[in-house]
Amino acid sequence: MHSISEKLFARAQQSIPGGVNSPVRAFKSVGGTPRFMKKAKGAYLYDVDGNQYIDFIASWGPMILGHAYEPVINAIKEYAEYSTSFGTPTELEIEMAELIVSMAPNVDLIRMVSSGTEACMSALRLARGYTGRNKFIKFEGNYHGHADAFLVKAGSGVATFNIQTVPGVTAGVSNDTLTAPYNDLDAVKKLVAENKNAIAAIIIEPVAGNMGCILPAPGFLEGLRLLCDEENIVLIFDEVMTGFRLGAGGAQERLNVNADLVTYGKVIGAGMPVGAFGGKRAIMEHISPLGNVYQAGTLSGNPIAMIAGFTLLKELKANPSIYSELEAKTIYLRDGMNAVLQEWGGAYVINQLGSMISLHFSAAPVTDFATAAAADIPLFNKLFHYMLDNGVYLPPSAYESWFLNNALSYADLDKTILVLKNFLSQQ
Ligand SMILES: *Cc1c(COP(=O)(O)O)cnc(C)c1O
């Protein structure tokens, strides 16, 4: 039953474009009616019609310890009494910065913003200001938020809706955006050779999560690191998804590759609108008011957002076993899915690292956007609806990673595997 969601969706479309404030929520690619949520607790979402779902989105990552996590909720309540914003510096911002610097490798200075989009946009501006170069390289199917420069061969919603060129992004802007296939170091080397001394930055999702979950091939990130060192290019890791998720030190720590600049979002705000970009002091010193690369935000470092993120990150730092628990759960899910998928006998690929996982109905390995796009998307869409109807909430697109949260129980994972098995038995 989802008649109340249906009514709300019809009403939403009267006053909100497409009825949603972010495109993938609209279910356009999978079809059907998006479910309007009322509340969430731990691993479960509850919609307005009273349905309960095991959640594999975790609000696209932030709810890594589950929804309505009590220490975070209590901290928000406490700090809300002091006012929701001051427009002045606060001690809490220092504590947040010090905590991030203590957790994240290669972050000497960190600037808070209000979204992952802002973080990536600002990091790119900084790399350009620092190097005095205009062009940059991104990877097909990687998503770095919706700033103009990144909306070229982007992942996530742009891929979901199969948008080739985004109206409103001028050729002047996109001409400076060079793209290469993910995991193709030779293609990157070729672009760098063709644009000698013109490339400011290479930006990458060190583990891609916006075309399903795709792992970097052995040596790929290391190769980018070497190339950037040789050519004085700023290497930006977009850790909006992977930061504080693949480990307290994110993908840099997990994969042992150093970035020059790093962007954060999602987990860093515990569900509040927060992003951040940081990195080596020599580069970060070019940001205003220290340097001339201008960057600002009326609500940047907002106290409610800060206390939420700070409370969550402190917990993640204090309890590193959270990451091994999460990974053990994800591997359990992967192995259970493998068992029922093998029994079924059709073509599939599961990609997984840490608490990120995705299932592609593909005979070939899924290593880049082209191989992700070649998978059986209609079958994924069918799976999505079957799971949804049976109380399991997957991302509503084959081009999104699933995110596990540590409130998930093994019984939840068993149920998820069983629902998958039942679905496959009908295919
Ligand atoms: C979600 C995401 C962004 C954009 O963050 P928003 O907070 O949605 O603006 C950027 N990069 C990556 C890798 C993301 O997953």
Task: Please report the domains of the chain, with CATH numbers, ordered by start residue.
Answer: 3-68+320-425 (3.90.1150.10), 70-318 (3.40.640.10)
Block residue for tokens 């948008």: 163
Concatenating the DSSP letter of every residue in 248-265 gives TTHHHHHHT---SEEEE-
117 lines ligand 1 (CB under 6 A): yes
360 lines ligand 1 (CB under 6 A): no
Q: Ligand 1 mean position to 248 CA, how many Å?
A: 18
As a whole number of angstroms, the distance between CA 119 and CA 136 comes to 16
Q: Ligand 1 mean position to 188 CA, how many Å?
A: 23
241 lines ligand 1 (CB under 6 A): yes
Burial class (CB in 10 A: 0-12, 13-18, 19+), 246: buried
Closest approach atom of ligand 1 to CA 115: 7
- Could you give the residue ranges of the DSSP H alpha helices within 16-90? 70-80
Measured CA to CA in angstroms, residue 38 lies from 7, 35, 47, 54, 421 at distances of 14, 10, 5, 14, 29
329 lines ligand 1 (CB under 6 A): no
Q: What single letter denotes the amino acid at residue 153?
A: K
As a whole number of angstroms, the distance between CA 307 and CA 223 comes to 38
Burial class (CB in 10 A: 0-12, 13-18, 19+), 185: middle
What confidence score (pLDDT) does residue 156 get?
73
214 lines ligand 1 (CB under 6 A): no
245 lines ligand 1 (CB under 6 A): no
Residue 392, phi then psi, degrees to nearest 5:
-125, 120
Block residue for tokens 């097909």: 140
pTM above 0.75, yes or no: yes
- 206 preceded by a cis bond (ω within 30 of 0): no
Q: Which of 57, 63, 240 for a ligand 1 pocket mutation test, highest count of atoms within 8 Å of Cβ? A: 240
Q: Which two tokens stand for residue 81?
A: 């009494």
As a whole number of angstroms, the distance between CA 392 and CA 326 comes to 18
Q: Ligand 1 mean position to 182 CA, how many Å?
A: 18
239 lines ligand 1 (CB under 6 A): no
Sheet of strand 37-41: strand arrangement: 37-41, 44-47, 52-55, 392-393
What confidence score (pLDDT) does residue 121 get?
98
Task: Render pLDDT for 196-234 as a digit per residue (tens, 0 to 9).
Answer: 999 999 999 999 999 999 999 999 999 999 999 999 999
120 lines ligand 1 (CB under 6 A): yes
Q: Which residues contact 316 (CB under 8 A, 6 or more apart)?
A: 64, 65, 103, 244, 248, 267, 322, 323
265 lines ligand 1 (CB under 6 A): yes
Q: Ligand 1 mean position to 361 CA, how many Å?
A: 25
> Active-site positions?
143, 238, 266
Q: Ligand 1 mean position to 235 CA, how many Å?
A: 18
Q: Which of 59, 64, 120 for a ligand 1 pocket mutation test, highest count of atoms within 8 Å of Cβ? A: 120
Are the beta carbons of 366 and 372 closer than 8 angstroms?
A: yes
Concatenating the DSSP letter of every residue in 303-315 gives HHHHHHHHHHHHH
Strand 135-139 with 177-180, pairing = parallel
Q: Which H or E element spans position 5?
A: helix 3-15
Q: What single letter denotes the amino acid at residue 397?
A: S
Q: Ligand 1 mean position to 421 CA, how many Å?
A: 32
The conformational region for residue 296 under phi > 0 = left, psi -120 to 50 = alpha, else beta, is beta
Closest by CA to 413, choosing from 343, 337, 347, 349, is 337
395 lines ligand 1 (CB under 6 A): no
What confidence score (pLDDT) does residue 239 get?
98
Which residue's CA is minimally distant from atom 6 of ligand 1? 116
Q: Ligand 1 mean position to 81 CA, how many Å?
A: 30
Q: Which residues contact 270 (CB under 8 A, 6 or more apart)?
A: 62, 63, 69, 72, 308, 309, 311, 312
Closest approach atom of ligand 1 to CA 120: 10
Closest by CA to 147, choosing from 130, 126, 127, 168, is 168
One digit per residue, pLDDT tens: the chain, 427 residues?
A: 899 999 999 999 999 999 999 999 999 989 999 999 999 999 999 999 999 999 999 999 999 999 999 999 999 999 999 999 999 999 999 999 999 999 999 999 999 999 999 999 999 999 999 999 999 999 999 999 999 999 988 877 777 777 778 899 998 898 999 999 999 999 999 999 999 999 999 999 999 999 999 999 999 999 999 999 999 999 999 999 999 999 999 999 999 999 999 999 999 999 999 999 999 999 999 999 999 999 999 999 999 999 999 999 999 999 999 999 999 999 999 999 999 999 999 999 999 999 999 999 999 999 999 999 999 999 999 999 999 999 999 999 999 999 999 999 999 999 999 999 999 999 9
3-class secondary-structure state, position 419: helix
As a whole number of angstroms, the distance between CA 359 and CA 349 comes to 6
Closest by CA to 176, choosing from 194, 197, 198, is 198
Task: Render pLDDT for 327-368 as a digit per residue (tens, 0 to 9).
Answer: 999 999 999 999 999 999 999 999 999 999 999 999 999 999
115 lines ligand 1 (CB under 6 A): yes
Block residue for tokens 């620092």: 130
Q: Which of 122, 138, 143 for a ligand 1 pocket mutation test, highest count of atoms within 8 Å of Cβ? A: 143
The separation between CA 254 and the C-alpha centre of its own chain, rounded to angstroms, equals 16
Rg of the chain taking only CA atoms, in angstroms:
21
Q: What single letter denotes the amino acid at residue 424?
A: L
Q: Which of 210, 274, 399 for a ligand 1 pocket mutation test, highest count of atoms within 8 Å of Cβ? A: 210
Are the beta carbons of 293 and 130 closer than 8 angstroms?
A: yes
Q: Which two tokens stand for residue 121?
A: 């946009």
* 3 state SS for 73-138: HHHHHHHHCCCCCCCCCCHHHHHHHHHHHHHCCCCCEEEEECCHHHHHHHHHHHHHHHHCCCEEEE
